[in-house]
Structure 1
């Protein structure tokens, strides 16, 4: 685990905890992204122009209770908590999503009412996700943080969600207990225990012998057939969202600051080899930073091919570009990967393919948490970062991975512009403020053409989520797509026997 502040949840395990412990004003309908419905809000927000400013008004549900904390009893959520939370989300020191909340002024208008002034105006397509149970949209308790202290809150989270934090045994497990006063009803499960088991074989054994009810699966080819052979009482679930696998090339560190080197790397890589390492059940190719298969605003394969930006593997051309850049003998890169299969496997493929043009990659394997820290460390920037992530819209993809505001700052761990790229800020900002959807999509396309032309990043693939469970575990909802990157356990999740 990282820490339990939902506004700092970037790794998948941290996102799961945030999903279970906290709520947003709105929520993605469990298992049915991109559908949005009210959560802590009584109804969907209303929007008005007031004195030339775009104003969103939100009424809160009454009687929503926060979990109890050590020496602090359960208490009701009010507008003060929402104002505090959204302001915290905009604080770069306390939120990994701070820039998403810039330009928002949040004011209390009653005990259960707030208004948000949005400058400049945003389309609902871009604004509503900021209020959902994702990223900076989670609502925390002002009383808890100011009474317990922020550092203690990061160790003992308190929210309004269906499950409350009980204890964390570092490196072993996290225990949650049912929130009996949950506003949607007391959960059917008495609690949940998450076992932290990075080794797939350990998870498989625990599932097959009945120690666990559900495990994170593997996209490795043949894994589904293998686990089903071990036990007949296993169901396999695959679902969205489709996380993007992108190779980010640092545009500001030598020798990567030379566009010829970056393009040589792109021509050295074969997208098909990366895809072959993952089951076809959960993967497919992508050709632009915004996955057009899932979201508006991306580029199709035919689009990039017509523009000559598909970078089909061409080792001879790659070697010529390196020679022109003065690196005919190649060079060495020090890279770092998570222990998770998807990261580690793709880094090894990357290493093998780059070795064909004389680039020697030293790849260090660390914990998933430590990888996240390392690739955000400006004091020791990485020339190449392979990253897997999902974002809810084109603006989020382009802003968080390619706007200069997201270049990692010295000592900060929040920046995700691993390319250290600064050439499309205006395109991103103009698209963000564009109300006309066709014009907005055109601007997003132009930004991505620039990214590919400068070879700041090479999109490779998408991967769906995969889980294996016992058939008697019922999620309580259909599972098509989840922003929380797991099937989601709610108050309706239960055992059928």
Structure 2
């Protein structure tokens, strides 16, 4: 979810070390010391140094990647997802779902799901079709404010002919439905549990929520009646460690067993076996980063101004200076090997003169609204560095900006909730599914469209993709949507960032931790060699 995404990076959601790139460019790999081999051992508490603050506990409302990353251990979705980003009912895949089978009629207006036998919730109740019906009705209730309510817009009714069968009747074809039923934000919860999820999340996942001190730590215990593989550890303790150096030191000193994000400036010292005391897994991309330009506030209601900002930025300098080379530039946020990616698009090169000419052609003067506030969060130190680099480019252009450094919660409130800004920047995690990413971020009614972008051409391309009669036409509509974004520049694209997780040599199953979406983590098959 942004530090927003499918999650906002911090959010509003590459490969998993063992299986490859999970939709990235093939850069996934296991590096460094190999963890323990043989049969998993049971017992112990795995301590996770989490790079971000878990904001929300209600999985349907959670807006940030940090929250989804944590809650992915508590909840499960109806549809499973393989490490190759293929939907599946197989119970032995990377992230299995709660449906053991499904069928779809010819015109894709009726979906019939069969639920797995023997699945129970953490409160002891058995999973039934009524829980699925309740979950969907809750997500679509406008008073709840669920972030993925749009997934079910075309669902006309939810029928439960028996305890193990769910039938979705659709008002029209909606191609992304099965893919989006694999989103953690559509996880199945017990009937009637909605009001309590924000304080006591209950799901069917491998771990049971025990407690949380926000911004400090949270505790999960193993679910003894879990239907799937694991869990092997007795407990999972999440410690919030937003400072990169403190987090890495905690790992190397043995205070932590696992960290989900090795600091960018330290990656070369740890990956590829560079440190005998840390095993690592790297993948790309972890997330993409883009600028927020408020499209409904001058001067960024002018497309010339938005293009000028794009031309003013040296994206490769940002990759080298802010990411220490651990990333790449981009023209479109679709994963590098996504079938939906428009390969014809290229990042705009830095061209200060072209940027200046575009501003001179616009209705606004260079510093008519100076200084332009540029809001960045201290949650990501590399954002501060990147903003400083961009400030120098803007100064060369003759544009005065004011960098405002905000705590993550303040940034979310001011930028995504209140839209009180002119310029900002953010990560987006989990960009594997095109409908969620492009509709959520850029459609005029998108739930993550916090920059007031509204384009009839873009909206039409997305809506046509969602109802296209063939996969080939669906792909072409998404590529057209990317062409529109590149032309209208509602949000200049900055970089793809690589990711690396680290663990002590005593942690087994590191290659199973990363979710297929490259964002969330799950410790059901992790274990400790004690």
The question of 1:103 aligning with 2:154 is answered yes
Residue by residue over 1:58-81, the C-alpha shift from the partner in whole angstroms, topping out at 9 and shown as x without a partner, is 11122211113xxxxx21111111
2:47 corresponds in structure 1 to none
Residue by residue over 1:195-222, the C-alpha shift from the partner in whole angstroms, topping out at 9 and shown as x without a partner, is 0011111112211111100113345244
Residue by residue over 1:83-136, the C-alpha shift from the partner in whole angstroms, topping out at 9 and shown as x without a partner, is 11122222343311111221113221211111012232133xx2212221x243
What secondary structure sits across from 1:143 in the alignment?
coil
Cα 1:249–1:488 change in 2 (3 A) is: same
Compute the displacement of 1:466 (Å). 1.5
CA RMSD of aligned residues (A): 2.6
1:190 corresponds in structure 2 to 234
2:417 corresponds in structure 1 to 377
Contact residue 444 and residue 453 of structure 2 kept, 8 A: yes
The question of 1:41 aligning with 2:62 is answered no
Please give the alpha-carbon distance, in whole angstroms, between the structure 1 residues aligned to 2:303 and 2:317: 24
Please give the alpha-carbon distance, in whole angstroms, between the structure 1 residues aligned to 2:102 and 2:448: 30
Compute the displacement of 1:162 (Å). 0.3
2:526 corresponds in structure 1 to 493
2:430 corresponds in structure 1 to 390
2:139 corresponds in structure 1 to 89
The question of 1:294 aligning with 2:347 is answered no
Higher mean C-alpha deviation, range 227-236 or range 167-176: 227-236
TM-score normalised by the chain length of structure 1: 0.86
Mapping 1:162-181, distance limit 5 Å:
162-181=206-225
What secondary structure sits across from 2:371 in the alignment?
strand
Mapping 1:37-436, distance limit 5 Å:
37-38=88-89, 39-49=96-106, 54-68=109-123, 74-92=124-142, 93-104=144-155, 105-123=157-175, 126-132=176-182, 134-145=183-194, 150=195, 152-218=196-262, 220-225=264-269, 232-240=276-284, 242-277=286-321, 282-291=326-335, 293-300=336-343, 303-304=344-345, 310-325=347-362, 326-329=364-367, 331-338=370-377, 339-378=379-418, 380-406=420-446, 414-423=447-456, 424-436=458-470
Q: Which has the higher relative contact order, 1 or 2, with Cα contacts under 8 A spaced 6 or more apart? A: 2
Please give the alpha-carbon distance, in whole angstroms, between the structure 1 residues aligned to 2:427 and 2:229: 38
Gaps of 5+ in 1: 69-73, 407-413
Cα 1:475–1:12 change in 2 (3 A) is: farther
Contact residue 77 and residue 141 of structure 1 kept, 8 A: yes
Contact residue 72 and residue 521 of structure 2 kept, 8 A: no
Compute the displacement of 1:350 (Å). 2.9
Please give the alpha-carbon distance, in whole angstroms, between the structure 2 residues aligned to 1:108 and 1:67: 22
TM-score normalised by the chain length of structure 2: 0.81
Residue by residue over 1:255-312, the C-alpha shift from the partner in whole angstroms, topping out at 9 and shown as x without a partner, is 1112221111111011111211365785222212434x13122222xx235xxxx421
Please give the alpha-carbon distance, in whole angstroms, between the structure 1 residues aligned to 2:300 and 2:236: 46
Please give the alpha-carbon distance, in whole angstroms, between the structure 1 residues aligned to 2:58 and 2:318: 34
Alignment: residue pair count: 465
Compute the displacement of 1:400 (Å). 0.9
Please give the alpha-carbon distance, in whole angstroms, between the structure 1 residues aligned to 2:284 and 2:496: 10
Gaps of 5+ in 2: 1-53, 90-95
Cα 1:358–1:226 change in 2 (3 A) is: farther
